[in-house]
Amino acid sequence: MAETARHTVRLTAHFERNLEQIEAFLWETEAPHAFDALLDELTDTVIPNLGRFPHMGRVFPARPARSVETTNGIERLEAQFNDIANEGDQLLDYVMSNYLLLYAKIHTVVCLLSIGHHRQLSFDLANHWPS
């Protein structure tokens, strides 16, 4: 098997904020060890693999949207990406064990844009009920 060209993997400020939010979320759910496991998975597996195989994720905008809000959000994201993208650049997502990672492959750079734990998106109903 031929060696695949290496791509530089960069973390965006937004991605780093997401990591801080995940860490806080995992502390609240009394699973702080899970954050260390996430960092290990990112540094030992995901980042090296994206450096070698930047197309291993799914093309993000190709997934069907199931709501008006999602459709609008994807259109805004695509418009922003298309302002900076060149031919061959792609916006992709990668499903990890408990996380969804959004990244952009731009020429020879992979930019990690966003990450979220699958349980982070929840509704805080307690704050919506009248006292």
Q: pLDDT digit string (tens) for 5-50? A: 689 999 999 999 999 999 999 998 888 899 999 999 999 999 999 9
- Cα dist. 20→3, 9, 15, 25, 98 in Å? 35, 19, 9, 9, 16
- Residue ranges making up the domain that contains 79: 8-117
In a domain, 3, yes or no: no
For the entire predicted model, the pTM comes to: 0.79
Q: How far apart are the first and last CA of the chain?
A: 65
How does pLDDT run across 51-109, given as a tens digit for each residue?
999 999 999 867 777 788 777 877 887 887 777 778 888 899 999 989 999 999 998 99
In a domain, 1, yes or no: no
Strands in the chain per DSSP E: 8-11, 58-59, 90-95, 99-106, 109-117
Q: Give me the CATH number covering residue 12.
A: 3.30.2310.20
